[in-house]
Every structure is written in structure tokens, then in C-alpha cells.
């Protein structure tokens, strides 16, 4: 990083100097002593091609670093709904064509309370948190499940 | 069925399913899940309270059995692998 920073600073100084005194041999040679011993040519070439380097400048030290930790993507209402519908479509007693967000498990889809318990357990497995019995038996449509999970996980839009 | 026994049934169903899912062995796990589901579904229409009580008692015994069985199976597999390791040496 330091090795990149130093030529960057040197080049910017050289560029500024070149802009001030166009084409003066004296300034170009004055830039030379600033150069570190390892790369004597770089400053001179840069000062001659300042316009090109300005266009092509990739910011070295100031690159944005984005850390990706090992975590799930953040939950959004749409994401929750997609996952809920996906799990429901995988359940063999539900036909995917008849399934909608507002379809009632017992009235529209013809399931019974045992199936509803199984569905809620599948949701628990999918989202990784426990749903107590008292609240679980009230969840009768996919929309209600989505709302409940959003409440529990503090997802709002 | 009375409301409280309906809740009993549903909570027992849930507990049995949860415990069955924890079996380490694939065969036991699938068998237990399938058997629990089939048994509950088969006895859905039972109305007589004494029968219901009997079935609930059987369900609770099965639950205790599954919980014991998991522990025993875990020890059993550990025991077997310990014996195998001994023999290898």
C-alpha cells in the first residue's frame, strides 16, 4: 500500500508542477529528485502523459473494501413471502396452482389442523426460530404467516 | 372433542414430530415421522372420550420412548464405534 501511495503522491505533485509550468525542462528535471530511486522513469513519463494518466487513474489506496461475512441475506417482506410460498409449494398436499397468498388453509385448500401444524413446523425449519403453539394455531393463510414472521424478525418497509 | 383435548392432541402431534426429526439414523427418522403422521390421521374421527384418552396416553408413551431411544441409539453407536476402534488396534 505504501509503495502504491508514494508514486501516487509523487505523480500528483509532478502533475501539478507540469500544469504550472508547461513544457519547461527545468521543472521536469526538478521533478526527478522527488522520485524514489527504484523507479526513476515513472515520474517523467507521467508528467509527459498527464492527460492519459488522469483519464486512466485507478484510485489505489482509496479502493472500497466490502467485507462479506458468513451471514444470511437480510430479510425483506418480499423475500419472506417468496420463501413461504416456496415451502408451501413443496408440501405435497397443496396443489401449486390453487395456492395464493390469501388462500385459507382450511377453507380454500381443504387442509386440516394436523396439516396446519406440519406447515407451521416447516416454516419453523425454514426460518430457524420457534413458533409457540398458541400463536401457531391462529396462522391460517400465507399472508398471516408472512406478517407474523415479519413481526418477529422486525422487518418493515 | 373438547377444546382442551384438541389442543392436547395438536401439541402432542407437534412434540412427537419434533422429537422424531431428531433421530440421527435416517431409517428410524423416516419411519417415526411416517408412523406418527399415519397414526394421528387414522384416528382423526374418533369421538369417544375414553378412546381419545387411551390414544393420548399411547402418544405420550411413544414420545417418552422416542426420547429414550434417541439417547440409547446415540450411546449404542458410540459404543459400537469404540469397540471397532479397539479391534483395529
- Give, for all 157 residues of chain A, the pLDDT tens digit: 555 555 565 565 556 555 554 444 444 444 444 444 444 444 444 455 555 555 555 655 666 666 667 877 788 889 899 999 999 999 988 888 888 888 898 888 888 889 999 999 999 999 888 899 888 888 999 999 999 999 988 887 6
Judge whether A109 lies within some domain. Answer: yes
Name the H helices within chain B.
3-21, 26-42, 49-88
Q: Is the CB of A117 less than 8 angstroms away from the CB of B10? A: yes
> Do residues A125 and A84 make contact, with C-beta atoms less than 8 angstroms apart?
no
Q: Which CATH number do you get for residue A140?
A: 1.10.1200.10
Work out whether the CA dihedral A88, A93, A96, A99 comes out positive or negative.
Answer: negative
Q: Is the CB of B10 less than 8 angstroms away from the CB of A118? A: no
DSSP designation for A69: -
For chain A, report the end-to-end CA distance as a whole number of angstroms.
41
Range(s) of the domain holding residue B24: 2-86
Structural domain count, chain B: 1
pLDDT of residue B56: 84
Judge whether A21 lies within some domain. Answer: no
Range(s) of the domain holding residue A97: 77-153
> What ipTM score was computed for the predicted complex, to two decimals?
0.75
Interchain contact B34–A (C-beta under 8 A): no
pTM: 0.62
Residues of A carrying an active site annotation: 112
By Cβ distance, the residue of B7, B18, B41 closest to A114 is B41
Judge whether A25 lies within some domain. Answer: no
Judge whether A39 lies within some domain. Answer: no
Smallest CA–CA separation between B23 and chain A, in Å? 16
**Nearest in space to A138 (alpha carbons), one of A108, A100, A106, A109:** A106
Structural domain count, chain A: 1
Amino acid at each position: 500500500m505504501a509503495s502504491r501511495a508514494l508514486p501516487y503522491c509523487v505523480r500528483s505533485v509532478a502533475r501539478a508542477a507540469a500544469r504550472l509550468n508547461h513544457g519547461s525542462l527545468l521543472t521536469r528535471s526538478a521533478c526527478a529528485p522527488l522520485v524514489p530511486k527504484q523507479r526513476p522513469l515513472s515520474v517523467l513519463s507521467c508528467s509527459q502523459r498527464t492527460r492519459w494518466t488522469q483519464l486512466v487513474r485507478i484510485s489505489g489506496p482509496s479502493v472500497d473494501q466490502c467485507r462479506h461475512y458468513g451471514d444470511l441475506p437480510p430479510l425483506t417482506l418480499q423475500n419472506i413471502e417468496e420463501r413461504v410460498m416456496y415451502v408451501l409449494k413443496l408440501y405435497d398436499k397443496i396443489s401449486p396452482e390453487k395456492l395464493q397468498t390469501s388462500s385459507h388453509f382450511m377453507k380454500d385448500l381443504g387442509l386440516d389442523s394436523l396439516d396446519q401444524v406440519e406447515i407451521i413446523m416447516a416454516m419453523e425449519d425454514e426460518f430457524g426460530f420457534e413458533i409457540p403453539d398458541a400463536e401457531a394455531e391462529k396462522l391460517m393463510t400465507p399472508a398471516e404467516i408472512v406478517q407474523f414472521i415479519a413481526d418477529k424478525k422486525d422487518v418493515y418497509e | 372433542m373438547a377444546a382442551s383435548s384438541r389442543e392436547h392432541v395438536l401439541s402432542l402431534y407437534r412434540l412427537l414430530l419434533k422429537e422424531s426429526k431428531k433421530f440421527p439414523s435416517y431409517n428410524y427418522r423416516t419411519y417415526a415421522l411416517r408412523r406418527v403422521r399415519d397414526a394421528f390421521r387414522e384416528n382423526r374421527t374418533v369421538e369417544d372420550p375414553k378412546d381419545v384418552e387411551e390414544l393420548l396416553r399411547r402418544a405420550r408413551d411413544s414420545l417418552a420412548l422416542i426420547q429414550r431411544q434417541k439417547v440409547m441409539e446415540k450411546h449404542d453407536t458410540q459404543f459400537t464405534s469404540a469397540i471397532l476402534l479397539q479391534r483395529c488396534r
